[in-house]
Amino acid sequence: MKPSDPFDPKGLMKDAFIIDGITESECRSIFLDWVLGVPDGRDVRTEVAVLIAHYKRLTDPAHPMIVTLASALEVSEQPRRRGGRQSRVPQGNS
């Protein structure tokens, strides 16, 4: 992919794949920077899938950035509310 690629306009992903010995932590940081640059209205999941499809055939599938990108596609549970007054005060003691 070229730096002018619409899925990687800053070339962040390209750079991540050529850094020798890059760690998962560094990949997460690069990924966050990449996500913040995704234009409004673009589907991040679709763009991540395109990146995976492109780079998975060019590198080791266990590369830390492939792992990071794959994690971004995992469906997470809806966040549940924690804390607040209701969790601290026993029911019936308003």
Q: Quick one: tokens of 25?
A: 């932590």
Between CA 22 and CA 89 the distance in angstroms is: 48
- Residue scoring higher pLDDT (3 or 7): 7
Domain that holds residue 62: 12-73
Total number of domains constituting the chain: 1
Q: Quick one: tokens of 61?
A: 């599938």
pLDDT reported for residue 87: 67
Select from 50, 45, 89 the least CA-distant residue to 71.
Answer: 45
| C-beta separation of 22 from 16 below 8 A | yes
pLDDT reported for residue 3: 46
pLDDT reported for residue 43: 92
Residue count (the chain): 94
> What confidence tens digit (pLDDT) does each residue in 28-81 have?
999 999 999 998 999 999 999 999 999 999 898 899 999 999 999 987 766 676
37, part of any domain: yes
Per-residue pLDDT for 1 more than 60? Answer: no
69, part of any domain: yes
82, part of any domain: no
